[in-house]
Each structure stands twice: as C-alpha cells, then as structure tokens.
Chains A and B, each alone.
Chain A
C-alpha cells in the first residue's frame, strides 16, 4: 500500500510546491494552539500538575528508559517491567534523583514495583479512579518524558484483551512437498529473523533446538512456544551440507503484517505489545520511553498505566482496576511487615 505520496512526479506540480509552502505558513495554526500545544495543555490545570508531580523518570546509566507512577507516599512506584530492566535511578519532576530498588515483578501483565530509596515519606502519590467507566472519546492525558509537558488525547478504541502472539522466524514453508529429510523453506521474509540469521529459500530444516522436525506442524509448534527475542538453534541442509544457524525470533505483527510500512512511519514501538488481560486504547503521541507512566482523566485520577506503544496512533494502557488490584495486595503485605 502506498501511504506517502510523492509530488515530484511531474514538473507541473513540482513547481507549485514553493507556492504551497508560502500559503501554508501564512494560514497555519500556531503550534501553541494545536491539540498538544502549550495553550491547550494549560487548560488541563490541576490534572496536568498531578500528572507531572506523580510521574517519575527511570534511568539506566543516566539515560531515560521508562516512566513510572508514584503509588505510595513512601516512594513506591509502578512501571512497565520489560522496559526498565537495569534501572538504577529515578528522577522526579523537581529534578531530584533517587536510587531505585526493585520490589516485585508481575510478568503476566508486564508490571513491576520499585521503591525510591529515601527517608522521605511524603512523595506526591497518585489517586486511582475507582470506576471503570472511561468511555470512547473521553479526554486522557499523561506526562511527557521531560516532565515539563503533558500529552493530550482521547480513548480511541474498544477496551479488550490482547492475545499472546508468540515468536516467528519469518519463513514460508513448502506445504505440498514434505520431504522425509525435514521441512523445506519456500520463502524468507526480507529483513525478518530468519533472513538476518542467513536462512535461504530451498533450505531444508531438520532440527530446531536439537529436536528433530519431520513436518511443518512440529516446527510451527516448537517455534510458537517461544517468545520474540528468544534464540532458536536451527540445523538445516543446504546443497547436501548440514549447517547450523542461530535465529533470534521476531514479533509476528512486525514480520507478517501487511502493514510493515506502518512500523516505519511509527518510529520505535514497544517490544512487548501482546498478551495483556485487558487494555484501554488511546491516541497520545508518546515515545516508547514514556511507557510505564500513569494515564489520567480530566479529574487528575489515574485510569491506567501505559504499557505498550503499538504504533503511531495506538498506545495501550492497563486499566486502573487491574493495576490497582496488584498494588493494593502488595502494599497490604508491606504494611503487615
């Protein structure tokens, strides 16, 4: 599909471009007044301040890798687990830095609880929205990674469960001609996992992770159990010579999606964006590093935690009802200790 449209095809139009730019600039809405412009952000007043005060930047070697939300005055924070591996430090809106300690990980929905190491017990912590009633088209907002601005948008699609995708190699297999030796590759998807590992059309795969694969189903089942990022050892026969390859599996959506171009135009997306028991979808223009931060409504109450940047128009949040359950359970045990 062609998405980006080139004007340079004919001289006739090419010449008109200069004129168009002039026309544009004199009639365009100043950045300040756009949906995410400062003038519009300002109207979000209290909710904006709460978002900025209760969001923290998580750092690894001075580099920001994720955001998190303060869930307790003693400096407990909730964030996206897979985004902040190796986070050592957190920075609050006032520029103060704190050492970080991991407390708990919840792999199921990719959440983690950390604590800011400090004597302070009056960190500004967020308020949870108790009612799960965010309707489509409702305003949502979240802190931008600088913690100086927010991003504004709306709930943009149905809340729903996101299924697990599993890892893929990015090969098409010969279906009608199963050789007794193994499974023949009929096509290698350009730039996908198998392509990068060096697999070629005509290769006959005999083993995956040292297990003999006699037919397609066996191979597909074996690979499907693994996740994107996992490395699989592939033994194959090429021109009658047996060879070994290491394939780092890719994401199904990235590999086989007809809309590969969508990823090119989206910029970096979260690695894990599947297998969530419930998500709330919104259209905030946030970078991947902003995942793990809290999402707020117009009242300044937390309605979710941003858990995956999916593409240019889609971010998933875990609804507050879901995240709060984990947090409450965790904090209850803390108090007992």
Chain B
C-alpha cells in the first residue's frame, strides 16, 4: 500500500510541473478524480485523526454537556458560547481518556456563538493548532470531531468527514454532520488546524453550522477577558442602528433602522464603516461588541467612507428599540 502511494504522489508531482499548478495535494483539488485520490483523502484523514483527537475535550456544565478543543499548552479551550452560558462558571472538562479536570468559563459572544474556557489546573495539556485568518474556503475538505450525545468511552471520539459548503464572516456551513453534544467541538482542515467550532444544525444533513476561527482572531481579547456578550445584555446597551455586511471594500452598511442614532446622524446605505473610537472594524460582530460596551446616549467617534471620501463624526448612541 505504501508503495502504491509513493508512485501516485510521484506521478502527481510530475504532472504538476507541467501544469504549473500550485496545489500539490489531492485533497486540495476540487473533487477527487479517481480511486487513488479517494485513498489519499482517507490516508490523510487517518494520519491527522489520531493527533487531532488528543486535544478534544468534553465540557460539563450545570446546564448540559458539549465539546471543546484545547489550543494552547496552558489549557485555553475554544468552545461555543451556548455551551458555557455565562462567564466565571466552574466547570469540568474531560479529556478523551475520561479524566476530569477543573476549568472556568471565560467569555464569548452569542452573536457568533464563540466561547472560551480556561483549564484551571496547572499542567502541559495536549493542544491543536488553529488556522490563521482566511485559510479556509468553500470546497475544502474538512472533518468534525466531538462527543455527539455526550462522552462515551467505549464509542470514543466520533469523526465525520465533509466539505465546506459556504463561508461568511460569522458562519461556516459544512456537510460534516453534527448532533447535540458536538457543540463547541472543532472542525479541522486537512492541514490539521482548527478552522471552526461546531455551533448549530437544522434538519437537513447538509445544514451544519460552525463558528469560523476568524471570529476568535478578531475578538480574541474580548472573548478571553470580558464577560460573555448575550442578546439579553445587548438590549440594554448602546444602539447605532445599522445593518452591515463584510464586503471587499470593508464593512458596508446594508440597512439603517429608522429613527436610530445612525439615521439621525445621516449615515446611509452603502457607506463603509472604518473605525469606532479608533478601533478598526474587521467584522460586524466586532462592531456590535464595541457598541455594546457603551451605554445609550454615550458618544462614540465613527470614521466611514462615502464616495471615496473619509468622514469622521461623533455619534450619540441611542437605545435599542423594543422588539
């Protein structure tokens, strides 16, 4: 078998020299073309699986059980916001050998459903590396691991293969199927890096949603240091009144809530938001997080682009309208 792989790989490389294609790995090609391609995908998955499993944890809170992944030697765990619920909760995490370790919930955000947990016991923990920004895109092969239905030592970690179906700034959709208990577990790419965290599903087998790792990168300090941002909390905080979308140009306004602070100050559809109180805006979640740290009536400085000219204004925030 090993011999066979060698030959295939060799042939593929030669082919690439002629074709001048950058991707050299079969699992990176859009769709497998032959049985050998399939074997390569399988081989790569199995190669990554044993390592990836080691950093997987089961998270036990007073409300239920989810999954998570350790991403640093000192025990920082990425999970989903809805798994931890609130900041500062004492929780147990379980390694794949079943051993329980004390931990504490940090923060996160219900907007993207990202969350963080810190193991409180000193030690050198097995961990997975995370992908950097913008490393994953639709069509990539991926695999989900987790504890669907809860920890089960006999069954072990459950793996599901799939491909990324779509990606937006706050959601990755894949056909790696998920179930309750998987929430908070990692989605890996075929380089063995965490590209997303399992979040939610709906009925169709294709409809599995994950929090992109980009959300963590953009809001790292907020998730780690501050209280979890809940929808409930949002209701009482400052409100700007824009809906926006990440485009190539930046954070572009797609809608303005009538009578809101944004409306009053004259922000318009298609304006590109650049920064808030000097903080460059990388995603709409970041914008919401920044605004929610302010009270209604508080003044913020906003920079935006309209028709290629940059405008700086002071905006008095409003209150969020009742639903």
Chain A residues engaging chain B, CB cutoff 8 angstroms: 1-5, 9-13, 15-16, 18-20, 23-24, 27-29, 31, 33-36, 39-40, 43-45, 135-139, 153-154, 156-158, 160, 257-259, 261-262, 265-267, 281, 283, 285, 298, 311-314
Chain A, Cβ-Cβ closest to B257: A11
Interface hits, B27-85 → A, CB 8 Å: 30-35, 37-39, 42, 45-46, 49, 63-66, 82-83
- Set B35, B159, B206: member contacting A156, Cβ < 8 A: B159
- Residues A16 and B166 in contact, CB atoms below 8 Å apart: no
- List 6 additional contacts besides A24-B168, A137-B159; criterion CB under 8 Å: A1-B66, A5-B113, A12-B239, A15-B243, A35-B162, A36-B175
Which residues of chain B are near A259, meaning CB under 8 Å?
A: 149-150, 179-181
- Set A10, A35, A137: member contacting B175, Cβ < 8 A: A35
- Decide: A261 near B254, CB < 8 A? Known: A10-B320, A27-B166: no
Which residues of chain A are near B42, meaning CB under 8 Å?
A: 137-139, 154, 298
- Decide: A3 near B200, CB < 8 A? Known: A158-B154, A259-B149: yes
In the complex, 8 of the A-B residue pairs with CB atoms within 8 angstroms, ordered by the A residue number, are A20-B171, A23-B168, A136-B49, A137-B161, A139-B42, A259-B180, A313-B160, A313-B178
Distance (Å) between the CB of A129 and the closest chain B CB?
Answer: 15
Counting CB contacts under 8 A, is B244 at the interface?
yes
* 6 residue pairs, one from A and one from B, having the closest CB atoms: A15-B243, A1-B64, A28-B166, A9-B231, A285-B205, A19-B245
- Residues A3 and B180 in contact, CB atoms below 8 Å apart: yes
- Residues A313 and B320 in contact, CB atoms below 8 Å apart: no
Size bracket of the B interface: 35 or more
Instruction: Give Cα A23 to B284, complex, Å.
Output: 14
- Set A20, A135, A313: member contacting B177, Cβ < 8 A: A313
Distance (Å) between the CB of B55 and the closest chain A CB?
Answer: 17
- Residues B161 and A153 in contact, CB atoms below 8 Å apart: yes
- Decide: A10 near B235, CB < 8 A? Known: A1-B183, A28-B166, A265-B201: yes
Which residues of chain A are near B10, meaning CB under 8 Å?
A: none
Chain A, Cβ-Cβ closest to B165: A29
Chain B, Cβ-Cβ closest to A42: B31
- Residues A10 and B323 in contact, CB atoms below 8 Å apart: yes
Which residues of chain B are near A139, meaning CB under 8 Å?
A: 38, 42
Interface hits, B238-277 → A, CB 8 Å: 239, 241-245, 254-255, 257
Which residues of chain A are near B181, meaning CB under 8 Å?
A: 1, 259, 262
Distance (Å) between the CB of A40 and the closest chain B CB?
Answer: 6
- Residues B46 and A137 in contact, CB atoms below 8 Å apart: yes
- Residues A4 and B37 in contact, CB atoms below 8 Å apart: no
- Set A33, A45, A257: member contacting B149, Cβ < 8 A: A257
Which residues of chain A are near B242, meaning CB under 8 Å?
A: 12
- Decide: A43 near B179, CB < 8 A? Known: A10-B231, A11-B323, A258-B64: no
- Residues A135 and B39 in contact, CB atoms below 8 Å apart: no
Chain B residues engaging chain A, CB cutoff 8 angstroms: 30-35, 37-39, 42, 45-46, 49, 63-66, 82-83, 111, 113, 138-139, 148-150, 154-168, 171, 173, 175-183, 199-203, 205-206, 209, 231, 234-235, 239, 241-245, 254-255, 257, 284, 288, 320-321, 323
Distance (Å) between the CB of B89 and the closest chain A CB?
Answer: 15
Distance (Å) between the CB of B229 and the closest chain A CB?
Answer: 11
Chain B, Cβ-Cβ closest to A36: B175
Which residues of chain A are near B183, meaning CB under 8 Å?
A: 1, 3
Chain B, Cβ-Cβ closest to A135: B46
Distance (Å) between the CB of A161 and the closest chain B CB?
Answer: 8
- Decide: A154 near B160, CB < 8 A? Known: A11-B323, A29-B165, A43-B35: yes
Which residues of chain A are near B161, meaning CB under 8 Å?
A: 35, 137, 153-154, 283
Instruction: Give Cα A5 to B183, complex, Å.
Output: 11
Instruction: Give Cα A157 to B234, complex, Å.
Output: 41
Distance (Å) between the CB of B87 and the closest chain A CB?
Answer: 17
Chain B, Cβ-Cβ closest to A6: B231
- Residues B243 and A311 in contact, CB atoms below 8 Å apart: no
Which residues of chain B are near A311, meaning CB under 8 Å?
A: 148-149, 179
- Decide: A157 near B156, CB < 8 A? Known: A28-B165, A29-B164, A40-B31: yes
Instruction: Give Cα A44 to B65, complex, Å.
Output: 37
Which residues of chain A are near B66, meaning CB under 8 Å?
A: 1
- Residues B179 and A265 in contact, CB atoms below 8 Å apart: yes
- Set B30, B155, B201, B235: member contacting A3, Cβ < 8 A: B201
Which residues of chain B are near A24, meaning CB under 8 Å?
A: 166, 168, 173
- Residues B202 and A4 in contact, CB atoms below 8 Å apart: yes
Distance (Å) between the CB of A70 and the closest chain B CB?
Answer: 24
- Set B32, B171, B203, B284: member contacting A40, Cβ < 8 A: B32
- Residues A154 and B159 in contact, CB atoms below 8 Å apart: yes
Which residues of chain A are near B163, meaning CB under 8 Å?
A: 29, 33-35
- Residue picked from A136, A267, A311, most chain B C-beta under 10 Å: A136
Instruction: Give Cα A181 to B158, complex, Å.
Output: 48
Which residues of chain A are near B158, meaning CB under 8 Å?
A: 156-157, 281, 283, 313-314
Chain A, Cβ-Cβ closest to B37: A43
Instruction: Give Cα A83 to B205, complex, Å.
Output: 23
Distance (Å) between the CB of A270 and the closest chain B CB?
Answer: 15
